[in-house]
Chain A
Amino acid sequence: MLNIEGLTRYYGKFLALDHLDLTIGDGELHGFVGPNGAGKTTTMRILATLLAPSAGSAQIDGVELIGGGKRARRLVGYMPDFFGVYDNLRVGEYLDFYARCYDIGKVQRQRMTDQLLELVHLSDKRDEMVDALSRGMKQRLCLARSLMHDPKLLILDEPASGMDPRARAEMKGILKTLKEMGKTVLISSHILPELSEMCDSLTILDHGKLVFSGTVDALAEKMSGDAPVDIRFTPTASEGQVENAVSVLRELPYVSGITQEESRFLRVRVEGGEKNRADLLCELMAREMPVLDFHREPMNLEKVFMEVTQDA
């Protein structure tokens, strides 16, 4: 389990990360969302032991990551948002080199290289030069590199950036496999619908502050609680019937706002919750209003993200 407490980071006087508290369970695929400069990469670099925080702590299964040295680095695999290549090095040698950097023995190195190349579908590229690979292949190779020492936590900073749809789909498949393998994955991305499909839980950051942390469903529920009710009347409904409906709705104490979008389409803000929405519908039915459609617009992650970060 990854446990982050009061993580803070200043760059000079600029506060990049403001007392971040976060808990991510074992085997969870956790999405990290936020606009540019929200503090995502700073958090990830701190967790990857590349950056020291100004304050706070982070532990994986009780092992302190901040200043934890080799013990901490063994538990974390890090894939940055940019893949740097070495020239004159083959794919197999590339992985072998990083395995040596983790002090992995020869036999295990060879076994891991084989397994990981298979996992990222690059077994047939073993003897190719790294700098001759396509961008998508390089990204997958970089993912294999970050898994070389079998870490508990995998930190992926924008792993699908700049990839074509096919490469993105392949990366998504690999992430699902990693989840099945029981790895805890922390992933940041700007492609929000993809994150909502893949992730178990999400954290939204804005200006270094935690805006939301929880499951995707909880976030959608939280946001859609305030969403207005859309009421569409039948095409045969007269203007008088619609005006009558508006005056009936205005009398209801839990209706806080009515907007007439079109001649037979109203958008109504309802306070309270499900019960009041049900009452409102009953009221309209009791007065035999010609209602064709009564629903709330479902919130997708993109909309949620825009709303949440707008308020912060």
Chain B
Amino acid sequence: MLNPILASSARRRMRAPRTMIVWSAYALALLLIALFMQSRFLGGQVYLARMNGVITLYAMLVGTQFALLLLTAPLMTAGAIASERERRTLELLLVTNTGSVRIVFGKLMECFAYLTLLVAGGLPTMCVVLLFGGITLPEILTAECFLLMVALGVASIGVFCSSFAKSTVSAAIFAFLMMLVIGAASALPLLNGYTQKVTDVLYDQQRYVAMSPVEALRWISVPVCLNPVIGLISLLEAHTGLFHFLTDRGWGRILATYMLMDKAGFIRVALLNGGAVAVIGLTLTLLGAMIIRPHRRVRRSKKK
């Protein structure tokens, strides 16, 4: 039987006029960017300039979707449990046979289904770049896959914060703060150099060439894999060369990370990054389910 929370929440969401407005606004924003880029960069006759324009358009569309999802996903899921608590329907759910895990995951899956609809709404605009060449369909699909994994992870953070926050607004604030903290903390390894052993290997040409992608993946700092922004840069690295640009502009400390990611494969790192974010998010959701469970043991106070 389909999760009743998922079915009912989806039905109510699709009946709300706001749902279609948000979806249309999302698709329209992407379309406007595409139209602007097309008139600005793709009207010229010079072939190389056109190629750059296509890549810029692609990067802009992926980046915009990434930013929109990072903004909308926590806002959408912040009310998942908190709004039930606000309208006092959470108790009514908790006295049924539906366990807290089913409630929380039902809410998450419903939000994720809507986020998938948003991303799917942006797909036709993304495919515009195929008309000009330079970007392939598998690349677009990989980017969409990465975006969905990040959306799942970020939505899960919203659900987790919603499980303990008293109101939707405070849940949204907690979710954004948590994202900020995770983002900042996971970027820290970029500022630190690798151990002597790793750098020795990286700067030894022969050993570097012989290094397998799996070995390179093993050496990349784990927190780097939890930062979706690094994942996005990695996803677009083959076309934009942003990482390479930063290492050339005095960000020497990230050179080792760059070399390891290059060896492991930027797309592979991006997908690993998205997957790790999703897994962390799902773990947090499970924690959220434990938080809302009603029958937690109560410590017995002593009479004074």
Complex Cα–Cα for A49 and B294 (A): 7
B contact set with A: CB distance below 8 Å: 1, 4-5, 7-8, 11-12, 15-16, 84, 87-89, 91-98, 294-301, 303-304
A53 touches B298 (CB 8 A): yes
Complex Cα–Cα for A9 and B298 (A): 9
A contact set with B: CB distance below 8 Å: 9-10, 12-13, 15, 48-55, 66-67, 70, 73-74, 76, 78, 80, 82, 84-89, 93, 97-98, 100-103, 145, 149
On chain B, the residues within 8 Å of A66 by CB distance are 295
A84 touches B87 (CB 8 A): yes
Complex Cα–Cα for A101 and B301 (A): 35
Q: Given A73-B97, A74-B97, A89-B8, check contact A82 B88 (CB 8 Å).
A: yes
Of the candidates B88, B98, B296, B304, the one whose C-beta lies within 8 Å of that of A80 is B88
Complex Cα–Cα for A53 and B299 (A): 9
On chain A, the residues within 8 Å of B15 by CB distance are 88
Q: Name the distance in Å between B244's Cβ and chain A's nearest Cβ.
A: 50
Complex Cα–Cα for A51 and B298 (A): 9
B97 touches A55 (CB 8 A): no
Q: Given A88-B16, A103-B1, check contact A50 B294 (CB 8 Å).
A: yes
CB-CB nearest in chain B for A66: B295
Q: Name the distance in Å between B275's Cβ and chain A's nearest Cβ.
A: 32
A88 touches B12 (CB 8 A): yes
On chain A, the residues within 8 Å of B301 by CB distance are 10, 12-13, 15, 54
Interface contacts beyond A10-B301, A78-B91: sample of 20 additional A-B pairs, CB < 8 Å, sorted by A: A10-B298, A49-B294, A50-B95, A50-B295, A52-B295, A52-B297, A67-B295, A74-B97, A76-B95, A84-B88, A84-B89, A85-B87, A85-B89, A86-B8, A86-B89, A88-B15, A100-B1, A102-B97, A103-B1, A149-B96
Q: Name the distance in Å between A160's Cβ and chain B's nearest Cβ.
A: 18
Q: Name the distance in Å between B9's Cβ and chain A's nearest Cβ.
A: 9
A54 touches B298 (CB 8 A): yes
On chain B, the residues within 8 Å of A86 by CB distance are 8, 12, 87, 89
